[in-house]
Amino acid sequence: QVQLVESGGGLVQAGGSLRLSCAASGRTASSYAMAWFRQAPGKEREFVAAIRWSDGNTNYADSVKGRFTISRDNIKNTVYLQMDSLKLEDTAVYYCAAGLSRNSWYYNEYDYWGQGTQVTVSS
């Protein structure tokens, strides 16, 4: 089992920044990749960014490329999402996810999920 706890969400004005954190505990050594997803009201959950534990390789959704940065701290078993130049359409609940196999990286198939943290961008 892997437990994930997100933090760092909140209310921010458009153009501002937030940093989300995801602290992982449990069988974290088994994780292949970690990712952030988001779900806006009335919309499907969508992929935002992912990072591979072994080499730090990253992947981003086109909608956030150049604005968001995913990073990891292997010692703290924590993944971060730095969000800059936030837009109104970034408003959503952001979820952290952990994947145990290569399927997480290549097919977005993640095994464990956090409870989510709300990010609201205002005009």
Query: What pLDDT, on the 0 to 100 scale, is given for residue 31?
Result: 84
Mean local confidence (pLDDT), 21-44: 91
| Mean pLDDT, the chain, whole residue set | 94
Query: What pLDDT, on the 0 to 100 scale, is given for residue 63?
Result: 97
The strand pair at 78-83 and 68-73 is best described as antiparallel
DSSP 38-54: EE-TTS--EEEEEEETT
Query: What pLDDT, on the 0 to 100 scale, is given for residue 54?
Result: 87
**78 residue type, one letter:** T
Mean local confidence (pLDDT), 64-88: 96
**55 residue type, one letter:** D
% of the chain at pLDDT higher than 70? 100
CB 111 within 8 A of CB 10: no
- Residue 23 banded pLDDT, cuts 50, 70, 90: very high
Strand, helix or coil for residue 29: helix
Mean local confidence (pLDDT), 11-16: 97
Query: What pLDDT, on the 0 to 100 scale, is given for residue 74?
Result: 86
Mean local confidence (pLDDT), 38-44: 96
Question: In this model, does residue 40 exceed pLDDT 90?
Answer: yes
